[in-house]
Amino acid sequence: MLFDFSTYINYMKYFKNNVILAVSAFALIVASSVQAASPNPATGTFSVQITLESSCTVAAGPDINLGSQFQGAVDALGSSAFTVTCTKSTPYTIGMEPSNGDTAGAGVLIGTTSAVGVSYTLYQSNQTSVWGNVVGSNTVGGTGTGAPDNHTVYAKVMATEYTNEPDTYTDMVTISVGY
């Protein structure tokens, strides 16, 4: 038998094409299995954190104006509403302290020209309990809701104080919120 060189060439081309096809298929299988083994895209995680501290704010209301009084008149009583806003579940106490530093809620109104002051007392919303600044004794307590809590303070001047000389008398009261 004679060796047919053209058949050999065709056989080699066929073999070469099949080998290229087999190698390509193998490479495709390997590449797809590598992709399946590792996630695409790669991922990572991080956390977000915040620490909320207890806090309170006070929004003082209008000044208490007891009007013009004269000897023989009745006691003067006035009020002012204010709000306390504390973070949720934060217990708080509200104290009132006149400028003379009295922790029992007894203040002195000072005149613009008079040397003698006019005494007054601060009261809680029931108008009989003195509102001072001694925790557990004469303060008002509450628990924060995250929303404004309404409160009212009353100031009372007894009619017996109307014997002082005519003048305009004022004082400054500090609202203190402990939490």
Residue 167 contacts residue 101 (beta carbons within 8 Å): no
Q: Which residues face 157 on adjacent strands?
A: 76
Take residue 137 and report the two structure tokens written for it: 């004794």
Q: Residue 20 has what pLDDT?
A: 65
pLDDT digits (tens, 9 = 90+) for 60-109: 999 999 999 999 899 999 999 999 999 999 999 999 999 999 999 999 99
Query: Residue 11 above 80 pLDDT?
Result: no
Name residues whose C-beta falls within 8 Å of residue 81's C-beta, 6 or more positions apart in sequence: 61, 62, 150, 151, 152
pLDDT at 115: 87
Percent of the chain exceeding pLDDT 90 equals 74
CB atoms within 10 A of CB 144: 20
Does the pLDDT value for residue 15 go beyond 60?
no
pTM > 0.85: yes or no: no
Place of tokens 């991922």: 43
Among residues 102, 94, 72, 84, the alpha carbon closest in space to that of 147 is found at: 84
Confidence of residue 127 (pLDDT cuts 50, 70, 90): confident
**38 to each of 24, 29, 113, how far by Cα in Å?**
22, 15, 88
pLDDT in tens, 109-122: 999 999 899 999 99
Helix (H) or strand (E) holding 164: none
